[in-house]
């Protein structure tokens, strides 16, 4: 096993990361100064007939794809396995089957190569993506306000440092991405729903259909999208013979998208009041790829004299670059505290892994982040 007293190298050392928390199988190699040497992502298509992710199908697809994906990533980076300095993998939160596949692959490589294995919190990886060199003009210094919007998460988070996160608010029912997927299914647009709804909405009038804005104007920055989703369903014909025309469907999609962006902007205004002088507004997660929402967020940031940072579209959805970068940020932060590289070989993947537990990583000199029996 690696020496627990070693410290991160001063010179850039390649870190390989694996992401398998949902339906994207991904691998990347990133140096400790933030250069992306290679990245590969395989989006699973086996879920399309079911209109959503089937966990068992996802886990089996990860298991089938990962070995070749790792080899392809090494080849793209022109590296051999022994050139790697550490192995990282998403270990939660997410679908447990996929997490086990990715974590076990990473652990096996770490043991075989005698390298440290770094367990990465998937949400922390999204939270730190904007600090990759070249994404934010000022490097997104702490503290910044993060809006995380994806298929499974919708949260406002005060990112105060590596391992230090304060949840300001989150969804009390559906996440924004989940609402997009369900509305897409109602409109017969297939899966994944977010891009399909956005494309159809370009043909529609965002003010054509009156829809509610749940929680809008209320104190705090929690979100709710379940009522909005139900309101869309109530606008649909009850009989097949009176199906929506293309224009009616486009108007409904555009109005739904407008309602989501209105809700998000309102909630962000409250989040800003709850956080003292953030340096930057950062958006991350799959729904951050939505063009209308991005434009509204950019306007919001400008109106509040805040720099705005959004990862490129390929780094908004689940990817392994963010996993590698989160591991690297952890290595650097622990080095600054005089702590060794973490070695999480005994950690079990977790379908739920609160960000609040990450602070312990910056304060406790321990080789295992979470006890194996937890």
Binding-site residues for Fe cation, in ranges, read 122, 126, 318
Helices then strands (H, E): number in the chain? 9, 10
Residue 61 structure tokens? 């697809």
**Which residues line the annotated binding site?**
122, 126, 148-152, 181, 194, 198, 290, 318
Whether residue 143 is preceded by a cis peptide bond, meaning omega within 30 degrees of 0, is: yes
Residue 273 structure tokens? 């009041």
CA dist list (Å): 229 to 89, 153, 170, 183, 270: 34, 16, 17, 7, 23
**Strand 24-30 and strand 15-19: pairing?**
antiparallel
Q: The tokens 């109530």 sit on which residue? A: 234
**Which residues line the annotated binding site for substrate?**
148-152, 181, 194, 198, 290
CA dist list (Å): 290 to 8, 66, 198, 282, 365: 37, 29, 7, 14, 41
Q: How far is CA 125 from the centre of its chain?
A: 7
Residue 105 structure tokens? 């692959």
How far apart are the C-alpha atoms of 163 and 55, rounded to whole Å?
29
């Amino acid at each position: 096993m690696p020496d627990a007293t070693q410290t991160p190298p001063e010179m850039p050392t390649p870190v390989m990361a694996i992401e398998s928390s949902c339906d994207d199988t991904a691998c990347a190699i990133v140096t400790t100064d933030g250069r992306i040497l290679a990245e590969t992502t395989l989006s699973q298509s086996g879920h399309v007939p079911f209109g959503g992710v089937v966990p068992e199908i996802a886990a089996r697809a990860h298991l089938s794809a990962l070995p070749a994906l790792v080899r392809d990533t090494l080849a793209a980076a022109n590296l051999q396995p022994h050139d790697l300095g550490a192995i990282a993998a998403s270990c939660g939160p997410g679908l447990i089957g996929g997490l086990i596949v990715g974590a076990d692959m990473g652990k096996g490589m770490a043991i075989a190569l005698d390298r440290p294995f770094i367990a990465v919190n998937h949400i922390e990886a999204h939270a730190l993506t904007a600090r990759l060199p070249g994404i934010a003009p000022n490097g997104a210094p702490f503290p910044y306000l993060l809006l995380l919007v994806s298929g499974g998460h919708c949260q406002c988070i005060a990112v105060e440092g590596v391992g230090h996160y304060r949840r300001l608010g989150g969804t009390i029912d559906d996440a924004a991405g989940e609402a997009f997927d369900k509305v897409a299914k109602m409109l017969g647009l297939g899966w994944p729903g977010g891009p399909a709804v956005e494309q159809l909405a370009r043909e529609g009038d965002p003010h054509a259909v009156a829809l509610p804005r749940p929680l809008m104007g209320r104190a705090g920055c929690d979100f709710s999208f379940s009522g909005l989703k139900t309101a869309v369903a109530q606008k649909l014909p009850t009989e097949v013979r009176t199906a929506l025309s293309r224009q009616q469907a486009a108007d409904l999609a555009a109005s739904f998208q407008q309602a989501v962006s209105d809700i998000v902007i309102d909630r962000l205004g409250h989040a800003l009041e709850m956080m003292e002088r953030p340096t930057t507004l950062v958006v991350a997660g799959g729904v951050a790829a939505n063009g209308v929402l991005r434009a509204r967020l950019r306007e919001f940031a400008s109106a509040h004299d805040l720099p705005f940072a959004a990862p490129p579209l390929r780094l908004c959805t689940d990817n392994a670059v963010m996993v590698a970068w989160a591991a690297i940020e952890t290595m650097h932060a622990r080095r600054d505290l005089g702590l060794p590289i973490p070695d999480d070989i005994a950690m079990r993947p977790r379908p739920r892994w609160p960000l609040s537990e990450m602070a312990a990583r910056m304060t406790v000199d321990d080789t295992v982040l979470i006890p194996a029996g937890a």
